[in-house]
Structures are given as C-alpha cells and as structure tokens.
Amino acid sequence: MRLRNIPGARETLAENDFVLQDPAQYKGSFHTLFGNSNPIHIEIGMGKGRFITELARLHPDINYLGMEKYSSVLIRALDKIKENPPSNLYFLRMDAEDIAEIFAPNEVDRIYLNFSDPWPKDRHAKRRLTSSQFLERYDKILTADGQVIFKTDNRPLFDFSLEEIEKSGWILDSKTYDLHHSEYMEGNVMTEYEEKFSAQGNPIHQMTAHRIK
C-alpha cells in the first residue's frame, strides 16, 4: 500500500513515542520495553493498522508490534491510537527483510501477515512475505511453537505460500479458502483490505503454520 507522499510524515514519526526509533536496541529485551513478560505478537505490513490496534485493545495481556515499510501509511495508524494509546502496542517503520536483526531467537510468539503484497512476477518471488527466504527469517525469531498466520484474497499468492510452507519444512496447522464461512471465523478481526475485498465478494483465505524445532 502506498499512499500519496505526506509531507513531514517521516519527521512526525521521528518525534512519536509510539514509533520505535532504533528498534535494534531492544533486541533480546523487548520485554523491558513493555514492562512485562507477556507474549509478543507482530504484524508485518500492517498498513493503516486497524487490525493490530484492535487486537491490542482486545488482548491487554499480549504485547503487539506493528511493522510497516512506509511512513505515509504508518502515520494513519498513529491517528488511530493518539486519543487513547494502548500500553501494549508499538510501531516500527522498517522493511521486514531486516527482521532477524531486530529480534533475538525465540523472542516472538506469533507473526501475522495480512493481505501482503503479491509480487506477481516470478523474479520477485523472494520479496513475497511468505517466501522460503522470509520463512527462514521468521524461523530465527519465533518461539518453538510460534505461528505464522496469513490472510489474503489472492489465490495465486495463497497457493504459492502453501508450497513454500511445505518446501521449508513447516507444519500447516490449519487452512481455509473461505475464512468468513469457516470455523476459524470466531475472534477474527478484519483488516482494512479484508473489509474492502470481502465486500467485493472475494473469499478470504487463511493459513496457520509453525516450524518444528
């Protein structure tokens, strides 16, 4: 998601207490940032942040980190929390490619990927957030039973992701091609893209997977 460039977006983020300026300094000690030892769940490519903000409000006993590459998008997420910021939520403006430099082994309990960019050209496959290259990075930081939960309406990307999961030696815990009419719908929190695409009649696919350590 790329919005029109917002003048001053980067500067606004640099001054904001809810955006971690130098996240690598917390590597291995994110619990001190949150001031508790609750599990850490992250969303990569959170866009305007509705999903993670709502989860943070629903689950005060879980710590959330939302990661987004673009300042112009992240700034919309900040708007959602400025009135009443949850103490269990921070944002990071960074490319997920560097994720293993930010978190120590076993530091992350769950990774959410929602409506990730499809990168349809074969030569860009390794940029997809469910590629074997990214799964390898996630493997470095997830706890032993830590999960990746992925939602999309893009069937080719979903099929690719299922193949990568198998190829990379991960275990598929669940999958559905129509989340909104499935048993996994309970507790589902809709993302901005999910609302838009399901309103257009697109079924939403979801998979959950973990890596045997």
Residue list for the binding site = 43, 68, 95, 117, 121, 153, 191-194
96 binds ligand SAH (CB under 6 A): yes
Is-catalytic flag, 117?
A: yes
Instruction: Report phi then psi at 173, rounded to 5.
Output: -90, -35
Distance between CA atoms of residues 123 and 121, nearest Å: 5
Q: Which of 61, 79, 98, 117 is catalytic?
A: 117
What character string, x for contact with ligand SAH (CB under 6 A) and - otherwise, covers 1-20? x-------------------
Strand ranges across the sheet with 63-68: 89-93, 63-68, 40-44, 108-114, 142-152, 205-211, 170-176
φ, ψ of residue 187 in degrees (nearest 5): 80, 0
Closest CA to 92 of 116, 117, 56, 68: 68
Nearer Cβ to ligand SAH (37/76): 76
Residue 106 identity: N
Does 178 sit near ligand SAH (CB under 6 A)? no
Tokens of 39: 């599990």
- Residue 114 touches ligand SAH, criterion: CB under 6 A: yes
Out of 191, 204, 207, 211, point to the residue binding ligand SAH (CB under 6 A): 191
Output the smallest distance, CB 175 to ligand SAH, in A: 18
Q: Can you name the residues that pair with 152 across neighbouring β-strands? A: 205
Q: Of 82-90, 101-109, 141-149, 188-196, which part binds ligand SAH (CB under 6 A)?
A: 188-196
Q: At what angle do helices 71-81 and 50-58 cross, to 10 degrees?
A: 30
> Could you tell me if 71 and 6 are in contact, meaning their C-beta atoms sit under 8 angstroms apart?
yes
45 binds ligand SAH (CB under 6 A): yes
Report if residue 161 touches ligand SAH, rule: CB under 6 A: no
Q: Which is nearer to ligand SAH, 36 or 51 (CB)?
A: 51
Q: Which is nearer to ligand SAH, 73 or 102 (by Cβ)? A: 73
Binding-site sequence positions for S-adenosyl-L-methionine: 43, 68, 95, 117
User: Tokens in use for 59?
Assistant: 């689950």
In the complex, residue closest to ligand SAH by CB: 45
- The Cβ of residue 76 has, within 10 Å, a number of other Cβ atoms equal to 18
Which residues lie near ligand SAH (CB under 6 A)? 1, 44-47, 67-70, 73, 95-97, 114-117, 191-194
Annotated catalytic sites, by residue?
Answer: 117
